[in-house]
Amino acid sequence: MANGFIPPHGGYKKLLSHQKAEIVYDATVYFCDRFIERRSRTHDQMVQAARSGKQNIIEGSMASGTSKEMEIKLTNVARASLEELLADYRDFLRTRGLKLWEKDSKEAQFVRKLGSGINGTHGSYETYRSYIETRPPEVVANIIICLIHQASFLLDRQLKKLEQAFLKEGGLRERMSKARIEARKKAGAVDEL
Q: Are 61 and 9 in contact (CB under 8 A)?
A: yes
pLDDT of residue 67: 75
Say whether pLDDT at 1 is over 50.
Answer: no
Task: Report helix angle 137-169 to 16-35, nearest 10.
Answer: 150
Report the distance separating Cα 169 and Cα 125, nearest Å: 36
**Phi/psi of residue 121, each to 5°?**
-125, -175
DSSP structural state of residue 150: H
Q: How many CB atoms lie within 10 A of CB 122?
A: 24
Q: What is the pLDDT of residues 49-106, one digit of tens each?
A: 999 999 999 999 888 766 788 889 999 999 999 999 999 999 999 999 999 999 999 9
Q: What is the pLDDT of residues 102-128, one digit of tens each?
A: 999 999 999 999 877 555 556 799 999
Question: What single letter denotes the amino acid at residue 112?
Answer: R
pLDDT of residue 2: 44
Confidence band of 186 (pLDDT split at 50, 70, 90) = confident
Burial class (CB in 10 A: 0-12, 13-18, 19+), 187: exposed
Confidence band of 185 (pLDDT split at 50, 70, 90) = confident
Report the distance separating Cα 66 and Cα 117, nearest Å: 31
Q: What is the pTM of this model?
A: 0.83
